[in-house]
């Protein structure tokens, strides 16, 4: 017997239940481009207050996974929920609860940091005192001295801070960061790590990186994708085992030591 469709009230009740359980769920997701299968039944969940690092070699499916979560790609199979919303069915709702820091530069060299933040606020329909929010973010991210400087003259570190401030302007509960430390010197990386840690307590952060220092400094959990398969989901297993996982090898994490080095993968 065919079941009647769920009422809007029932759907909202289920969404709120999912939201309070885990902010992000990915269940049995597959994705193909033409005949090439890019993701094979990927499943994981993300909790509130944790930083999860997503690792994968070029072509492993890492970027595809992040684009599906952002609503930029629709999977061929599986279930994705961000705060109870399906990114494919409700992209506008997901955009309201999701902050994204892409790897590519999002700043216009001819605009100031203040102008970027004000434009982002207007675009997002920020309802509160926008100027107060801009100055609040400038204080949090130590941007006061460059708030009225053109983006084109800023250092990479300041540009990353400004980009993150834009991603967090609406105070989204879920944040996706794609290679946020790429191009930063060690001092800038350390400052950026401190910044991410300071905002992570009440948010869910998914961070894509190829830098092992990022993983060691930030990850509460590590996800490794190899050949479109999620082959590891757990605490940092040590750099040697991470390298093996990235190549698609199964790993035994028992008594795996952490190594002290600054290599990338």
Specify the pLDDT at position 225.
92
Residue 253's pLDDT is 57
- Amino acid 10: pLDDT: 58
Give how far the C-alpha of residue 45 lies from the chain's centroid of Cα atoms, to the nearest Å: 13
3-state SS, residue 217: helix
Greatest extent of the chain over all pairs of C-alpha atoms, in Å? 66
**pLDDT, position 186:** 84
Strand partners, 206: 52, 176
State the pLDDT at residue 258.
38
Walking along the chain (265 residues) 10 residues at a time, the average pLDDT comes out as 59 55 91 93 94 90 91 93 94 90 88 96 90 93 94 92 91 91 81 87 90 87 93 89 80 48 49
Domain spans of the chain? 23-246
Angle between helices 113-124 and 130-140 (to 10 degrees): 130
CATH code that applies to domain 23-246: 3.40.50.300
């Amino acid at each position: 017997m065919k079941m009647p469709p769920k009422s809007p009230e029932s759907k909202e009740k289920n969404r709120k239940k999912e939201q309070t359980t885990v902010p992000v769920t990915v269940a049995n997701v597959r994705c193909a481009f033409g005949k090439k299968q890019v993701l094979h039944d990927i499943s994981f969940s993300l909790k509130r207050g944790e930083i999860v690092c997503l690792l994968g070699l070029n072509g492993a499916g890492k970027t595809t996974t992040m684009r599906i979560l952002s609503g930029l790609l629709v999977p061929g199979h599986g279930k994705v929920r961000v705060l109870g919303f399906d990114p494919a069915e409700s992209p506008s709702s997901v955009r309201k609860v999701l902050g994204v820091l892409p790897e590519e530069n999002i700043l216009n060299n001819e605009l100031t940091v203040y102008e970027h933040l004000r434009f982002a606020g207007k675009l997002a329909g920020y309802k509160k005192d926008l100027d107060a929010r801009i100055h609040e973010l400038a204080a949090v991210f130590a941007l006061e001295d460059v708030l009225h400087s053109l983006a084109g003259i800023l250092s990479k570190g300041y540009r990353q801070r400004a980009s993150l401030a834009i991603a967090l302007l609406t105070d989204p509960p879920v944040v996706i960061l794609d290679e946020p430390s790429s191009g930063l010197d060690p001092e800038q990386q350390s400052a950026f790590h401190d910044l991410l840690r300071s905002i992570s307590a009440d948010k869910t952060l998914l961070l894509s990186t190829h830098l092992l220092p990022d993983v060691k400094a930030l990850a509460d959990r590590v996800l490794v994708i190899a050949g479109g398969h999620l082959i590891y989901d757990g605490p940092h297993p040590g750099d040697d085992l991470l390298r093996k996982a990235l190549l698609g090898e199964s790993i035994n994490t028992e008594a795996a030591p952490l190594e002290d080095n600054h290599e990338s993968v």
